[in-house]
Amino acid sequence: MKIKISYFYMIRFFKPNQIPISTAVWDPKWYHNFTGNPKYRFLDKNNVLNGIRLKDIVPNEKLHNCCRGRDNCASLNPESCEFLSGYRKQLYEIDFNTFIRTLETISSAAMSYTKSNDEPDIILIVYETPNNPCSERRVLIDWFASNGYELEEYRKE
């Protein structure tokens, strides 16, 4: 299992073995969330399972109103952003090995559901593109790196 990062727009290019997992506070309407009903699944036209979220890596409720937007970020310095510093603290409280085991469980279930025989890729999904410094993407990449894992950007094949 490989783990990568990307943003919602790129899901349209995924293959059935590429499993998007939202890290967003609010998902786009088309990204059908099935976590409230374990029997509901949404496969898009490419047979990609959509709707998976992991509550542990979604910014918690205390952070929902902390982001002032890229143009209002303190001198466009993401390191001084209350939202990103709070999100960093939230992630660093998670046991990384337990988190990876959760991803392995999700990966196995998703591959079984889509009937894909290819090696699974878990792709963590954020809203912002890679060139936006005001994004939880950087915090996720740092958290993975601090646990000895390089979180690479998904590239369309």
The confidence score (pLDDT) of residue 66 equals 54
Q: Which letter, b or e, does each residue of 90-124 get, where b requires 16 or more Cβ atoms within 10 Å of its Cβ?
A: bbeeeeeeebbebbeebbeebbeebebeeebbbbb
Q: What is the pLDDT of residues 6-29, one digit of tens each?
A: 999 999 999 999 999 999 888 888
Q: Is the pLDDT of residue 75 over 50?
A: no
Q: How many residues appear in the chain?
A: 157
> What is the reported pTM?
0.87
What is the model's pLDDT at position 29? 83
> Which residues does residue 18 pair with via DSSP β-bridges, in sequence order?
121
End-to-end CA distance of the chain: 17
Instruction: Dump pLDDT digits (tens) for 89-127.
Output: 999 999 999 999 999 999 999 998 888 899 999 999 998
Q: Supply the pLDDT for residue 27.
A: 86
Q: Which residue shows structure tokens 């510093």?
A: 85
Judged against a pLDDT cut of 70, whether residue 76 lies above it is answered with no
pLDDT score of 141: 95
Q: Write down the H helix ranges in the chain.
A: 82-92, 96-114, 136-146
pLDDT on residue 94: 96
Is the Cβ–Cβ distance between 24 and 6 less than 8 Å? no
What is the per-residue pLDDT for 92?
A: 94
Two structure tokens written together for 128: 């912002």
CB count, 10 Å around CB of 69? 8
Q: Render pLDDT for 40-69 as a digit per residue (tens, 0 to 9).
A: 678 899 999 998 988 889 887 665 665 555
Contact present, 1 and 106 (Cβ < 8 Å): no
